[in-house]
Amino acid sequence: MFLRILSILFVFSLVTVPFDLGAQDQKVTYKKARALQTSTAKKIVKVVEALERVDEEGKEDPDFETVKEILNELLDKKDSLRSYDRSVMWNYWGYVYFSEERFSDAMRAYRNLLAEPESTIPLRVASLYTLAQLNFVNEDYEEGVKVLLQWMQEVEVITAQGWSLLGQAYFQLGSDKKSESEKLDYYEKALESMLSAVKTAEIEEYKPKENWYVLMAACYSELQSRIGKEESLYKQLDIYEILVNLYPKKMYFIQLGGIYGQLNRELDYMITLNAAYQKDLLDKESEYLALTQLLLLNNNPYWAAKVLEAGRVKKVPVIDEKTKEEKIVPVVKDNEKNLKLLADAWRMAQEIELAIPIMEKAAKIAKDGQTFIILGSLYLSEDKLEEAVNAIEQGLKKGKVKNASQARLTLGQAHFELQNFDQAKKEFRIAARDDDKKIKKTANSWIKYTENEEIRVKNLALRRDYIQNQG
C-alpha cells in the first residue's frame, strides 16, 4: 500500500522541473551576473521572445523551432564564445531538450553548463537542482543524490522542497537495496530529510505537501524492526491524523483506522471509519461490514443497521469477469451472511418489524435451517405465532441447526401460546432429552407449566359451559 501511494505521489512531484533562473523558491542573494557579449545577447533576446510567444487566445505557444535555430547558430561558434555566454546557451538547450522529453540530452546540456568556469551562481544552482531532478526521473537515484548534495553545498538556504526531494531519493534507494541494514540506513536518512522539509516549511510559512507526510509514514513503517512495532505505529498514527485533517482522502482514513485497529483502539477505529462514511468515502463491502461490526461492538446497533442499509443502497461500477463489461451493483450484497447481520442489528436495536423482512429474505437463500429458526424467534417475539411455528418447522426440516433442542423449546413455546398443548408438550419432551442440563431443566419446567395451564384452560372451559347451561 505504501509503495503504491508513494509511486504515484513521487512521480507527480517530479514532472514539473523548474528552469527559470530565479526558480527553486530559494531565499538566496546571488552575485551580479556577468554581461553577455552583444552578439550573444541579441540572439538570447530572440530566444526569450520565441519562448514567450502566445497564441490568439493568449495561451502560451513557445516557438521551439525558432529557438533551436538560434541556439544552433550559437552552438556552431561555441568555441569563439566566452565561457559565460556558453553557460547561458547550455541553459536554454537544457530547457529545450527537456521540453521535447530528450532527458539524456538535457542532462548533458546542464553538465556542460556546470563545466563552464564562468557560469554564475544562479545558473549553477538552478542547473544542479534541475540535473538532480532529471537523474531522479531517469531513476538514477545515487547520482541524483550526489548532485543534490552538491546543490545543498552551493545554496545559502536549503529549501523545504530541496529537503523533500532528497528524502524521496533516499527512500527510493532504500527500496532498491538488498541488504536489510542498508535499507534501514537509507530509510532513516529519508526520514531525517523529510522532518527537515516539514520544519523548513514551517519557517517558510507554507503548508507541507501531502506526499511528504505519506513518505514519512512509510519510513516509520519500514523502520519498525529498528524502532519497535509500537513506536512505529504511534509515529504513523500522528502522521495519518495530520493527513486526514489536511488531505481528507479515503486511503488515509483507512490507513488511520487500520493503525487504531492494530493498537486495539476499537472506539477510535470506529470513529475514523465513521468519519470516512459520513464523507461518503467508503466504496467497498469490507469497509461497510467493518464499520457495522465496530458499531455493534460499541453498542450502536441502530447506526450499525443504518450503515449496512446505506451500503445496500449505494451503487458502484464493477467489471464483469466473464463479459468484461461494466455494470452497476450495490456495494453490500444481499447474501445470507450480510442479511443476517443486518437483521440482527435491527433486532438488537429493538426494531423487530424491520428485522423480520430482512431475515425472511435471508431464509429464502439460506443453505441450512438455522436462519429459519432465528426468523421463528423473531415471529414469536412479535406474537406472530403461526408464522413462528411454520418457520421453525421449516428450519428443523432443512437441518444443520446449531441447537436443535433450543429450537424445539422455541417451537414448543409457540404452540403453547396457540394453546396447542399436546404439540407443545411433544416438543418440550424432545428438548428434555438433551444432554445439556440447563436445556433439560427448562424443558421439564415447561412441560409442568404446560400441563398446569392445560388443566386451567379446561377448567375454565367447563365453568363457562356450566354457566351457559344454567342460564
What per-residue confidence (pLDDT) applies to 10? 36
Q: Across residues 406-414, what is the average pLDDT?
A: 94
190-225 pLDDT tens trace: 999 999 999 999 998 889 999 999 999 999 999 999
Per-residue HEC secondary structure of 348-407 comes to HCCCHHHHHHHHHHHHHHCCCCHHHHHHHHHHHHCCCHHHHHHHHHHHHHHCCCCCHHHH
Sign of CA dihedral 17, 22, 24, 25: negative
What per-residue confidence (pLDDT) applies to 374? 95
Separation between Cα atoms, residue 262 and residue 377, nearest integer Å:
37
The pLDDT of residue 405 is above 80: yes
Separation between Cα atoms, residue 42 and residue 241, nearest integer Å:
56
The pLDDT of residue 432 is above 90: yes
315-324 pLDDT tens trace: 999 888 888 8
The pLDDT-based confidence of 5 (bands split at 50, 70, 90) is very low
Residues 6+ apart with CB under 8 A from 94: 19, 106, 109, 110, 113, 127, 130
Share of the chain above pLDDT 70, in %: 93
The pLDDT of residue 459 is above 60: yes
Written as one string, the DSSP assignment of 49-101 is HHHT-B-TTS-B---HHHHHHHHHHHHHTGGGS-HHHHHHHHHHHHHHHHHTT
Q: Across residues 279-297, what is the average pLDDT?
A: 96
What per-residue confidence (pLDDT) applies to 241? 96
Residue spans of the domains in the chain: they are 366-470
Q: One-letter amino acid identity for 283?
A: D
Separation between Cα atoms, residue 82 and residue 40, nearest integer Å:
10
Record the cell numbers describing residue 357, joined without a space: 423482512
Q: Across residues 86-114, what is the average pLDDT?
A: 94
Look-up of cell digits 504515484: 8
Tell me if 336 sits within 8 A of 362, measured CB to CB: yes
Q: Which fold has domain 366-470?
A: 1.25.40
Of 4-8, 320-324, 394-398, highest mean pLDDT: 394-398
Separation between Cα atoms, residue 270 and residue 69, nearest integer Å:
64
The pLDDT-based confidence of 420 (bands split at 50, 70, 90) is very high
The pLDDT of residue 99 is above 70: yes
Read off φ and ψ for residue 67, nearest 5 degrees.
-60, -45
Q: Across residues 15-23, what is the average pLDDT?
A: 36
What per-residue confidence (pLDDT) applies to 425? 94
Q: One-letter amino acid identity for 359?
A: M
Tell me if 200 sits within 8 A of 219, measured CB to CB: no
User: Residue 24 belongs to what H/E stretch?
Assistant: none
Look-up of cell digits 504513523: 236
- Least confidently predicted of 6-20, 324-338, 387-401, 423-437: 6-20
Residues 6+ apart with CB under 8 A from 344: 355
The pLDDT-based confidence of 471 (bands split at 50, 70, 90) is low
**DSSP-assigned beta bridge partners for residue 315:** 330
The pLDDT of residue 24 is above 70: no
